[in-house]
Amino acid sequence: MSKAQDRIQVHTGDITKLDVDAIVNAANTSLLGGGGVDGAIHRAAGRELEFECRMLNGCNVGDAKITKGYKLPARHVIHTVGPVWQGGGKGEAGLLASCYRRSLELAVANDCRSVAFPAISTGVYRYPKDDAAKVAVYEVNDFIKHNVLPEIVVLCCFDEAMAKLYRRHLAILGEY
Ligand code: AR6
């Protein structure tokens, strides 16, 4: 049987272009759009995404909610809200891990075979990139070890520097 980590792929590029069952959005608690990856997803999906988001009554930090993908190649968007980095002593790591776990739970509940994540909280929310990569890799690996779905999880980054961090943490996992 293949290792869980063989189901994790690192991709450098624009998440809005990915033809997967679900892409994850690094949103804010209002779920009504913003900058960064959130803005890119809303622009690519079209206004209907915002209309559906308005019905969701926001989302707590560390939680996730799902919508359709509208004009995106992805069938669904899973909106999660990462923590704002405040130095690490405000439960940030646990909240970030929860974003990955709750998003994957929603993916399973909606029969998603492939899911792509951006590097949640590492932009405007200033989470240190190496620490965020570690949380993402460990949480995703732990989840897929215990679940058949999703078959593939894509860790999508905008730049090669972030991709390197993911690959390093995946390699460390492979040593165990
Ligand atoms: N595809 C893949 N990754 C992207 C893309 C893209 N199209 N665009 C940006 N990134 P951020 P956060 C990367 O700031 O830190 C919004 O205003 C980017 O390089 O989008 O969780 C929300 O509404 C970075 O590594 O999200 C919230 O208010 C990562 O995505 C707030 O920003 C996340 O950066 C959320 O902040």
Residue range 131-170, pLDDT digits in tens: 999 999 999 999 999 999 999 999 999 999 999 999 999 9
3-state SS string over the chain?
A: CCCHHHHEEEEECCHHHCCCCEEEEEECCCCCCCCHHHHHHHHHHCHHHHHHHHCCCCCCCCCEEEEECCCCCCCEEEEEECCCCCCCCCCHHHHHHHHHHHHHHHHHHCCCCEEEECCCCCCCCCCCHHHHHHHHHHHHHHHHHCCCCCCEEEEEECCHHHHHHHHHHHHHHHCC
Does ligand 1 lie within 6 Å of residue 92's CB atom? no
Residue range 33-46, pLDDT digits in tens: 999 999 999 999 99
Which residue's CA is the closest to the ligand 1 atom numbered 28? 28
Best residue among 28, 37, 84 to mutate for probing ligand 1's pocket (most ligand atoms within 8 Å of CB) is 37
